[in-house]
Amino acid sequence: MAILFDKNTRFGELKRKINKINEKKATLSVIAFLLFSFTGYSQNHQHENKAPDTKEILNLIAKYKVSEAHSEEFGKMVIQDLGGRTKPINTFSSELLRKVSKSDTYEGMNSDQVFISMTQFPQYWYNVPIIYMKRGNDSIRKIAGIPSNVKYASLINFFDAEGNYKLASYLDEAYRAAVPNSFQKDFIETDKKVNLLYDALSGKIMRVYPIPNDTNNKWVSYLEVSDSTKTALDTIKNLIPFYLDAVSKASQNNNYKLANSILVGLKNYQKKYGKETMISDEK
């Protein structure tokens, strides 16, 4: 009886996985609104959804690509992950790109340039073919409606016209399996890629603001700060939106003075209020 309720046993692990699936379903079920409202999908012609032209999207992304020098400064900024670990954005962006695309670069951009672009234009990245599809198991391709010869899929491929997550029913069984088979492992691996990319595009993963004097040393994204905290966070919470506007203009006129100064201000804030979880300058 004790085993059934002990969180450190196999039963506890299965319970956490099942809860995680339910949370994913609740979160991913609303993604359709974002996908279809941003991309202007239509069902007026033979029940087909006409997606924006991939080439046009990639051209727009390339147009606003920031310089490598500035992306390097951006990559030095610290971010806190879901587990509470602080790390340079460069570390996070590298992990993100490699896990999702199996590559260190994408369309001539390094991982920091990609992450900046994702934060700027999430509505376009929903349609960008960046999710690497493993060869050998065509079941996922058939379910998602992806041709067998396509190497990369878009996030939008995994949702139907009503916003339902196409892999959901298969994941329940896969996560419950004590020893997943190769078929189930592929579903779990693809699910992790989809969720990681979604988290990056949602903006909530940009946890760059340490909460002053927080007992748990928690950091938050600007999307999580809606009410007044009556701390220094209130004066700095809008820096990321300002930064995104500044960096978009800088990519066109090659003047990164304002964008760089915003990063300096944010880094100073992090050093002052997030020092408990950050490594020292000497280290």
Using an 8 Å Cβ cutoff, are 196 and 99 in contact?
A: yes
* Separation between Cα atoms, residue 204 and residue 200, nearest integer Å: 7
Q: For a pLDDT cut of 90, what percent of the chain falls above it?
A: 63
Contacts of 203 (CB under 8 A, 6+ apart): 119, 122, 221, 222, 223
At 209, which helix (H) or strand (E)? strand 209-210
The answer, yes or no, to whether residue 19 has pLDDT greater than 70, is: no
What integer pLDDT is reported at residue 40 of this predicted model? 40
Rounded Cα gap, residues 160 and 248, in angstroms:
32
Half-sphere exposure of 46 (CA within 13 A, CB side): 1
Of 7-11, 26-30, 241-245, give the lowest mean pLDDT range.
Answer: 26-30
> Average pLDDT for residues 122-139, to the nearest whole number?
90
Q: What is the pLDDT confidence band of residue 82, given thresholds at 50, 70 and 90?
A: confident
Q: How confident is the model at residue 198 (pLDDT cuts 50, 70, 90)?
A: very high
What is the predicted pLDDT for the residue at 41? Answer: 36
Would you say residue 33 has pLDDT above 70?
Answer: no
Reported as a pLDDT band with limits 50, 70 and 90, residue 148 is confident
Q: What is the pLDDT of residue 225?
A: 87
Q: Is this structure's pTM higher than 0.85?
A: no
List, for residues 213-231, the tens digit of each pLDDT value.
Answer: 999 999 999 889 888 889 9
Could you give the CA distance from residue 171 to residue 163 in angstroms, rounded to a whole number? 17
Q: Is the model's pLDDT at 8 over the cut of 90? A: no
| Residue 28 in this model has a pLDDT that exceeds 80 | no
What is the reported pLDDT for 1? 52
Return the pLDDT at 49.
Answer: 44
Contacts of residue 21, Cβ cutoff 8 Å, sequence gap at least 6: 171, 172, 175
> Between residues 280 and 129, which one has the greater pLDDT?
129
